[in-house]
Every structure is written in C-alpha cells, then in structure tokens.
Amino acid sequence: MTNAADHVADLVFGRWRSQILYAGVELGIFDHLQLDTPKQAQVVAHELQADPALLYRLLRALASIGLLNESDQRAFTLTAAGDLLRECHPRSMKAMTRLEEGPQHYALWKHLPAMVRDGHQNAFEREFGRMAFEHARVDKDYDKRFKQAMSSYSALQADLVLEALRRVDLSEARTFCDVAGGHGYLMAAILCAYPQLSGIVLDLPEVVEDRMELSAAKFGVEGRCQYIGGDMFKAIPQADAYGLKMILHDWNDAECIEIFPMCAEPRVLAGVSL
C-alpha cells in the first residue's frame, strides 16, 4: 500500500514540479546560468531584479527536480536538462513550457471532468468562449506564446519526423504538403533532406503572410516551397504526400473526419513562392 500511496501522492502533487519549472522559465532563470560556471544565487537575483530569499528557494526547488546543480557556496549551474530551457539552445523547450504551463493552457484543464460528463468539446470554448485560433487573434500574449512554441519545438519534431520518414518510400513523390504547417520549419527540413521534392505549406492567411517568420528562406529552399493561406476545412492543395503534425488533437472526432476527405480530394490552390 505504501508504494501505491506514494504513486498517487506523486500524481497529486505532480503539478508542483511543472509549475516550479514554469516559474523558472518565466523568470528567465535558465538564460542567466551556464553549464560549467557556477553563479551565486544573489547575483542571479540581482540580474533578474527578484527577491533574493525567495529566488534562492526557487533555485533549490529547480535543483531538486534535476534542472540545476547547487554548490556548497549557494552557487548554481545548469544540468543538461536545464540547458534545454535556455532560449538560445538549438533544441530549446523554453517556449513550449511557457505555452503548456502558461495561464491560458493551465486554465483549460479544469474543464476536463465536465467535458467527459457531457461529451462536449472544446475546453477553449468553455474557458474563453471561442476556439484557440480565434482566441489568439484577441489575446496577443497567447498568440505570441503559441507562435514561439510552435516554431521552437519544430526543431526537435523535425528530427523525429525525418527519422520516421526514412521508413517510407518517397522516391515517387514530387510534392509534399504540410497541412496547417505554420511557418514551414518542418517543410523546409523535409525539403533539405529530399532534394526531389517541392513543398507546400497551408495555414491561415495571417500566419503565412508574415514573411519575416517563414522558414523556407532561412533554410535556403525558398525556390521549392510555396505558402498558401487558406482553411483546411474548405480546401487542401494537391500534393503527392501530406503531413498533419500536431493538428488533429485540436479538433473533435467529427471535425477530424472532415479534414481527411480534403486530403483525398485536393484542389489546385494559388499560393506565394518565396
């Protein structure tokens, strides 16, 4: 019974860990520390303009969950896990932490029991009166968190997708469409790995019209990548292969069933080649 009770207690208080992590990220603690050079807690507090006593306690809490190391002199360094929470890390998980543990997504979880009882999705509608993408147009903080999270997390996800695609024969494919592909990081990574492909990124008009954020030019594949602003529920462009990364979980079963036929019956849609 002790092991069972410990397991349940760990689940009950698990959010303490994720919120300690979130506090460290939101305050920018990880960006002020290094892997190999210890920094005194008081120095970090001064740099962050934070209360020294409470910041030291937070630093110790972050160390207790494996993100920092503490020396005998109350100085701290990053662990390998903590290093992933720096903004400049090439596989940074800072932005995703700010999104998933931030105020908007945090508020959604309280609606889970009601959703299961009555079978009505979506938690965003319950909390904010509108779907996530509509809410992003109104809540600029959420819009920024979401875009930063999707862009930064794409680096890690692109590696996983490319690994999975090695088991798929794409030799006959000439066009690949990333449905709701955001700024096109994944599409650009795929184009780099498969020189015979041309890419299409479909997303909302306000997403793809932000030229400075689009990834194709940054990867040097702008000549083979087309961005199309549209609605995947209305039309999806013609392609030989399709990707839907982290898309279907946003919609209920009936809405997902609407999306798949659009891939089976694509249309020629006009877009912008960068």
pLDDT digits (tens, 9 = 90+) for 237-246: 989 999 998 8
Can you tell me the mean pLDDT for 155-173? 88
Residues noted as catalytic: 249
Please report which confidence band the pLDDT of residue 92 belongs to, taking 50, 70 and 90 as the band edges. very high
- Cα 88 from chain centre: 16
The pLDDT score that the predictor gives to residue 267 is 61
pLDDT tens digit sequence for 67-90: 999 999 999 999 999 999 999 998
Cβ 178 vs Cβ 202: under 8 Å: yes
C-alpha angle with apex 164: 81 to 153, nearest 5 degrees?
40
Query: pTM of the entire structure?
Result: 0.76
The pLDDT score that the predictor gives to residue 109 is 95
The pLDDT score that the predictor gives to residue 266 is 60
Query: Which residues touch 267 (CB under 8 Å, ≥6 apart)?
Result: 235, 236, 237, 238
Distance (Å, whole) CA 171 – CA 210 = 32
More confident residue, 263 or 196: 196
Distance (Å, whole) CA 176 – CA 186 = 11
Percent helix, strand, coil in the chain, to 5, is 55, 10, 30
User: Is 249 a residue whose pLDDT tops 60?
Assistant: yes
